[in-house]
Amino acid sequence: MLDLLYKRRSIRKFTNQDIEAEKLDRILQAALLAPSSKSAYPCEFVVIDEKQINEKLSVCKPLGAGFLKNASCSIIVAGDVTKSDVWIEDCAIAASFIQLQAEKEGLGTCWIQIREREYNDEQSAESYIQEVLNIPSNIKILAIIAIGYKDGEKAGRDETHLKKEKLHTNSF
Ligand SMILES: Cc1cc2nc3c(=O)[nH]c(=O)nc-3n(C[C@H](O)[C@H](O)[C@H](O)COP(=O)(O)O)c2cc1C
């Protein structure tokens, strides 16, 4: 597990290679295996494997999403607010599971933040995506995880990255 965690980096450049169905299937299994507060399971996942749709989603906010137009696949991670008051936490864990399983499959990912982000002065990134994908208003969107084959390698982390001063034992 630690090897995988040291290796994972945010990948924003992808090749054109499609993701094999079995790999995508295992990534989605990982998403569905994430723990859930009170076993409420509020998370919903929308898989986008059509380039045209990913292109539309890539303009959901002015910065930090443009690279989505070159990803072979993306997964919208969203939560039903009527099912859980902690859907954000549940979705964040599921999104992380997606990223880690994708790394295990030799793929690259990047989290694209949607919650609290704006499409423009009048519309949120969330409502723009809800319109594009016909997502009802009770399903709130946390993030899009862009997935694809990495176009080039990014160095993994080593122990110098660890901010050990953030660790506390028994009291702060
Ligand atoms: C909650 C969260 C939101 C993020 N939002 C974006 C984003 O909108 N666009 C983007 O390109 N990267 C985004 N990232 C990726 C971070 O920029 C990246 O994780 C950070 O720079 C550390 O780099 P690493 O993932 O390679 O270790 C986000 C990461 C997290 C955890």
| Whether residue 16 has its Cβ less than 6 Å from ligand 1 | no
pLDDT of residue 103: 98
Which of ligand 1's atoms lies nearest the C-alpha of 9?
26
Q: How far is the CA of 113 from the centre of ligand 1 (A)?
A: 8
43-48 vs 73-80, strand pairing mode: antiparallel
pLDDT of residue 125: 98
pLDDT of residue 3: 96
pLDDT of residue 59: 98
Q: What sign does the CA torsion over 10, 73, 21, 45 have?
A: positive
pLDDT of residue 12: 98
Give nearest CA residue, ligand 1 atom 10: 64
All domains of the chain, ordered by start, with CATH?
A: 2-149 (3.40.109.10)
CA distance 140 to 171: 36
| Whether residue 110 has its Cβ less than 6 Å from ligand 1 | yes
**3-class DSSP state for residue 140?**
strand
Q: Which residue in this structure is represented by tokens 């295992």?
A: 26
**3-class DSSP state for residue 29?**
helix
Q: Which stretches in the chain have pLDDT values below 50?
A: none
Give nearest CA residue, ligand 1 atom 31: 111
Residue in 60, 56, 58, 55 with CA at minimum distance from that of residue 119: 60
| Whether residue 112 has its Cβ less than 6 Å from ligand 1 | yes
For the chain, the farthest-separated pair of C-alpha atoms sits apart, in whole angstroms, at 52
pLDDT of residue 15: 97
| Whether residue 82 has its Cβ less than 6 Å from ligand 1 | no
Give nearest CA residue, ligand 1 atom 3: 113
Phi and psi of 105, rounded to 5°?
A: -85, 5
| pLDDT tens, residue by residue, 101-143 | 999 999 999 999 999 999 999 999 999 999 999 999 999 999 9
